Amino acid sequence: MTPPAWRPDNFRRGIAFAVVSMFLFAVMDAVSRVLTRDMGLGVAQILWARFVIFFFFALAIIGPRAFLASFRSALPRVQILRGVALVFEIGIFILAVRYLPIGDVHAVAAAAPLIVLALSGFMLRERVTLAIWSAVAVGIAGVLIVVRPGLREFSWFHALPVLGAISWGFYQTLVRMVARLDSANTTLAYTVVIGLALTTCVGPFFWSDPSLAAWGLLLLSGLLGAGAHLTLIKAYEACSAPRLQPYGYTLVLWAIVIGWVGLGEFPDAWTLAGAAVIVAAGLFALVRERQMA
């Protein structure tokens, strides 16, 4: 397969897609919290329904005739790994928002851009300076402020946002890798097929009949997830990842606002302080990376 021709960054387009994507992710997580906490649906059931909807959404966007052709990838193994990583990451976050407010979850998940920068050195062969590693260390300190192990009653679910942040950063790094050579349609096609195949293996065995309201929220969750991932793919296609990373932090703001307005949840002072440390560390690392470039 011949790689797409190199395109200059369309910064405004990339920012717009990135901010919209973060908003959709935050709303999707709020819906997932209602489905799991208030309506008692399982993670596997929500994942399966979401990927079924996502599949038909992608099929309509790409077109039935072009869908099979979209699987011609320059990096098929990476695409498969990325699809598996996405299913794992979404499952972790659905489980996390079942037990924790979405503002708290995304305060920790804000460390994902730092993880992307750290992984870029190993996976993308990019130079990572001491300043960036220092920022990653400060970001870890911010995560500890939010989680506060030993300073409050600690349960296993408090570790879920940390695992989610790591998997989210790993997934974004893979998106960044495939965006160099594959089109957005190729990435989208692999996403939905791998996600649907994996969730179909487990979803039917954990199915419980939803109420009419739950069916509506399942449909909404699937549409939000499809839109969020499509706009994220489009953002990376329009603009290089380092320039977009600061706008990934808008997810924390969206999560706090939506959690407060929609669910009546507002993070405590420790969570806000930890989130501020994580975001500040991430922005510092990005500024240093840009100066180095």
DSSP symbols for 223-286:
HHHHHHHHHHHHHHHHS-HHHHHHHHTHHHHHHHHHHHHHH-----HHHHHHHHHHHHHHHHHH
Encoded amino acid at 190, one letter: Y
With respect to residue 3, please indicate whether it lies within any of the assigned structural domains.
no
In a domain, residue 243? The reply is: yes
Q: Which of 165, 1, 158, 6 is nearest to 72 (CA)?
A: 1
Tell me, yes or no, whether 2 lies in a domain. Answer: no
Measure CA 17 to chain center: 14
Q: Assess if residue 90 is contained within a domain.
A: yes
pLDDT at 9: 63
**For the segment 119-173, what is each residue's pLDDT rounded down to a tens digit?**
877 777 767 677 777 877 887 788 878 776 655 566 777 788 889 889 988 988 8
- Of 177, 175, 174, 2, which Cα lies nearest the Cα of 73? 2
Q: Note the pLDDT tens digit of each residue in 76-106.
A: 999 999 999 999 998 999 998 888 888 888 8
| 6 occurs within a structural domain | no
Q: Is residue 91 in a domain?
A: yes
Share of the chain above pLDDT 90, in %: 13
- Cα separation of 54 and 41, whole Å? 19
Q: Flag whether pLDDT at 4 surpasses 70.
A: no
Question: Does residue 49 lie in a domain region?
Answer: yes
225 in Cβ contact with 54 (< 8 Å): yes
150, 180, 161: which is closest to 73 by C-alpha?
Answer: 180
Q: What is the pLDDT, as a whole number, of residue 8?
A: 57
Domain that holds residue 265: 11-292
What is the average per-residue pLDDT within 6-29? 82
Is 137 a domain residue? yes
Looking at residue 24, its pLDDT comes to 93
Count up the domains in the chain and report the number. 1
